[in-house]
Structure 1
Amino acid sequence: MNIVLLSGGSGQRLWPLSNDIRSKQFIKIFHTADGELESMVQRVYRQIRTIDKDATVTIATSKSQVSAIHNQLGEDVGISVEPCRRDTFPAIALAAAYLKDVKGISEDEPVVVCPVDPYVEIDYFDALKDLGALAASSNANLVLMGIEPTYPSEKYGYIIPDTPAPVSTVSMFKEKPTKEIAEQYISQGALWNGGVFAFRLGYVLDRAHALIDFENYEDLFSKYETLDKISFDYAVVEHEDRIEVMRFSGMWKDLGTWNTLTEAMDSHNVGEALFNETCRNVHVVNELNLPVLCMGLKDIVVSASPDGILVSDKEQSSYIKPFVNTLDHRVMFAEKSWGSFRILDIEKESLTIKVTLNPGHQMNYHSHDFRNEVWNVISGTGRAVIDGVVYNVHAGDTLQMNAGSKHTIFADTELQIIEVQFGKDINVHDKHKYDLPSLF
């Protein structure tokens, strides 16, 4: 199976756990069978591998999410990186060119496209395999998955099929309706449009070449910033007559708000939390090293992270976006390809960060013009390189790098350091990257 997972979105609706760097699909909130926590993208990727261990999985995403994807899924997953946001048609066109020119996928092979973060069970991925097989054998150019509605939702578009058969031609598409109109659509046999569809690779490449002047993946990548923003629906679906829809009746949820996310949680808390006996339908997600105590609360979600604290009625939590838009606060936690960092303290001329490097990973070899840095190793072992000199490091060691000094650190085991930056102009843009000489 060739599957493209669309990974977009900004971190507003699940603030404070999500931010401009960490979108909702990277929040580790679900328990695995062995008791560990996994994110939506990890859950979906694991489910795909359970159904098809040889599947070609490509994640279409922005540059800002690449580090988090590598951190959570490893280095082997395919990534089609959008140089900038240009909506779903350019993203899918770029991913299609990536599959052909980088991964060597034949134009006759089917490709399934779906969001990266649905909350589903294994039968959904069985259905995706069926969808791909249908795209390969059908006379239709596009085959969509239509999800049987469980209630008259105002959040989704609707697909109205011509017949109630498991696979049908499509009569029409409807935009997101009011609840009353959604009820009318459902009475006509309408299905939710969950943004899941399949096609033969050559079909989308032909459509892309018809709308964009490019030769191959590298050429399209280089021209990406010049492309118009346009959705796949507007660019392709609305102009295609040969479309079929395949029904899916299994569980499918879009966990886009705190209200829907807490419904899917398998416990009332992630992180340290206490509830007294008067609490009802209260959920806590706590990423801080501090306890949260809840008393006498009902239908409340509490979320605490280095970026802030949310205490909200669950229904009202759907309306946090305009309030989050008013916040001007730097990102306090982020995952990188080599590990993660958490900002501990911000002063006028200093910044203190806890850095965690995964075993076998390292930072870029880099320098700064306007700040000095001190590394205090608090756990693990590794090797630091400062201006070409290698230092073995372990818990208790302290290293100092002055402005202009080239430096990096390599983790032999999980390595945790406290980094203190000193300077009058501390900002993320003060960084020069270099190739690391062969020292070890």
Structure 2
Amino acid sequence: MELILLSGGSGKRLWPLSNDSRSKQFLKVLPNNSNEELQSMVQRVWEQLEQTNLSASTVIATSKSQVDMIQNQLGNQVPLIIEPERRDTFPAIALAATYLYSVKGTNLEEVMAVLPVDPYVETSFFEKIKELELALNESNAELALIGAVPTYPSSKYGYIVPNSDTSQQYFQVKNFKEKPSEIEAELLLKDNALWNCGVFAFKLDYIISLLQQKDLPVDYFRLLEQYKELEKISFDYAVVEKTKNIIALPYNGTWKDLGTWNTLTEEMGSQIIGKGIVCEESKNTHLVNELDIPITVIGVKDAIISASPDGILVSDKLSSPKIKEILNGFEQRPMYEERRWGWYKVLDHTKFDEGNEVLTKRIGVNAGSNLSYQKHFARSEVWTIIKGEGHFALDDKIRHVKPGDVLIIPVESNHGIKAITDMEFIEVQTGSQLIEEDIVRIFMTWEEVEEHCKLSVGK
């Protein structure tokens, strides 16, 4: 069986920690059984896949904007299928299917299972996923799903309505009900309906044949070329609702979608993350603070206080899901990002009347990692090393740098840096258009940089 993890979305219900580059699955707020450090949803899920021997057959399908974040948290060896742009779940699953078929050479009779990258579940959930293959082969169904046995009549989740006895290993699906009212949910529970976990399994041939019927390429590289022309449509609407023969496997264990502050704080590793104090009378109040200034909470109950470089949220927990509506139309550049080499925070961004801009960042580079050898056309930069040691390359010359060194990088100068120990530096950009897209990456690895600089010296 081949597994595809779908990693997408911006998770704006968890603002200000989540933004367009850091979705909810990357927030490190969950307890870690193996050490004292907090972990993210994607780290937790990948650990569970390793524990159930599924990681070797798993590929993550994601957008270009999330690649650095995934590699930062899971390492550079995790296999990725990278969408050129976000186009909903059907195009993403179609691209993954063509990758398995035309690049990996997977047999058309092989079962392909697709699941979100961020469910909060027990490890037994992934043992249940293994049962999808046998259930599909036994039943000759076109699709197999997993449904969690509800613990209460929730209006937040979709429901799978059974057509037969749900006490068996699997059952025929009658229909679906998306986010009903609580009264409707109570009636659904009486009909033994299950929460829809967003897991789909099918034989690879099912999707490849569907693409052929739609006159879409089944070659991965050809589909990549046409990707921007694909309809933005979910897999539910494009496939599931039009499929007649569907089965579902009941899962009788913990399953949660930690998509709001209200649900996320129920599973957080601590009442306080970051600098701050929550006084004893502030019952059921959580503080998440990524800023370097302390926050003190007194006499505020049932609330979430969250502070990051992107903003500050103070909300009653039950009202916190409204943040997505409130932020509708609100746009700003991400003020914090994790990259494959480390992280950065935006400290200040000023635009002057004459058209000049100044952007100040604090940048952290992990030991052994490097920024690409690059250049910019619309800005100059000044780096001040404040922590750690490394090697700095400027216009094909490499030198050792340490705390206190000030590095001046003119417009269009080739430059890069590799950390020997964990490094931090303050970067001040000055120019007419300070955007992330103003970059030409010449070399990605430091070995390439060193080889290039040696050849340049020899000329």
Match of 1:45 in 2: 46
Contact 1:270 1:286 in 2 (8 A): yes
User: Does the 8 Å contact 1:136/1:199 carry over to 2?
Assistant: no
Match of 1:430 among 438, 442, 447: 438
Correspondence 1:384-395 to 2 at 5 A: 384-395=392-403
CA contact (8 A) 2:98 2:218 kept: no
Q: Distance in 2 between matches of 1:175 and 1:92?
A: 21
* Pick aligned residue for 2:376 from 368, 382, 386: 368
Cα distance in 1, alignment partners of residues 332 and 236 from structure 2: 35
Verify the 8 A CA contact 2:11 2:259 in the aligned structure 1. Answer: no
Give the drift of 1:99.
Answer: 2.1
Alpha-carbon distance between aligned partners in 1 of 2:383 and 2:11, rounded to the nearest angstrom: 30
- Measured at CA, do residues 58 and 422 of structure 1 come closer, stay the same or move farther in structure 2, by a change above 3 Å? same
Decide whether the 8 Å contact of 2:3 with 2:59 is kept in 1.
Answer: yes
Equivalent position of 1:151 in the other structure: 152
SS in 2 for 1:47: helix
**Over residues 278-324 of structure 1, what are the superposed CA-to-partner deviations in whole Å (9 max), with x where a residue is unaligned?**
21111011111121111111101100101111111001101111222
Question: C-alpha separation between the residues in 2 aligned to 1:136 and 1:395?
Answer: 62
1:12 Cα deviation from its structure 2 partner: 1.1
Report the Cα distance in structure 2 between the residues aligned to 1:307 and 1:235, rounded to whole angstroms: 36
User: Alpha-carbon deviation of 1:255?
Assistant: 0.6
- Within a 5 Å distance, the mapping from 1:50-199 to structure 2 comes to 50-52=51-53, 55-163=56-164, 164-166=166-168, 167-199=170-202
Please give the residue correspondences for 1:261-280 in structure 2 after superposition, counting only pairs within 5 Å: 261-280=264-283
Greater Cα shift, 40-49 or 392-401: 392-401
TM-score by length of 2: 0.92
The gaps in structure 2 that reach 5 residues or longer are: 352-356, 455-459
CA distance in 2, matches of 1:250, 1:186: 16
- State the TM-score, normalized to the length of structure 1: 0.95
Report deviation, 1:138. Answer: 3.5
Q: Secondary structure at the match of 2:284?
A: strand
CA distance in 2: counterparts of 1:371 and 1:5, whole angstroms = 38
Pick closer, same or farther for the CA change 1:105–1:149 going to 2, 3 Å: same
Deviation at 1:359, TM superposition (A): 2.5
Q: Distance in 2 between matches of 1:344 and 1:101?
A: 46
Contact 1:168-1:245 within 8 A present in 2 as well: yes
CA distance in 2, matches of 1:99, 1:80: 10
Count of residue correspondences: 440
Tell me the distance in 2 between the aligned counterparts of 1:411 and 1:198: 43
Paired residue for 2:405?
397
Show CA shifts across 1:141-174 (max 9, x none): 2111011111222222221112223311112222
Match of 1:338 in 2: 341
SS at match of 1:281: coil
SS in structure 1 of the partner of residue 145 of structure 2: strand
- Cα distance in 1 between the residues matched to 2:327 and 2:417: 35
Aligned residue type for 2:186: E
How far is the alpha carbon of 1:136 from its aligned partner?
4.3
Match of 2:354 in 1: none
Letter in 2 for 1:396: G
C-alpha distance in structure 2 between counterparts of 1:78 and 1:137, whole Å: 30
CA displacement 1:328-385 (0-9 Å, x = unmatched): 4321100112211111122333221111112332222221222211111122222111
Q: Which amino acid aligns with 1:322?
A: E
Shift of 1:226: 0.7
Matched, 1:383 2:410: no
CA–CA distance in 1 between the matches of 2:235 and 2:194? 19
CA distance in 1: counterparts of 2:141 and 2:190, whole angstroms: 26
Tell me, yes or no, if structure 1 residue 406 matches structure 2 residue 414. yes
How far apart, in 2, do the equivalents of 1:160 and 1:53 lie? 29
- Tell me which residue corresponds to 1:26: 26
Give the match's secondary structure for 1:405.
Answer: coil
Partners of 1:6 and 1:60 within 8 A in 2: yes
Q: Residue 303 of structure 2 aligns to a residue in which SS?
A: strand
Instruction: Give the Å deviation of 1:58.
Output: 1.1
Q: 1:165 to 1:208 in 2, by over 3 A?
A: farther
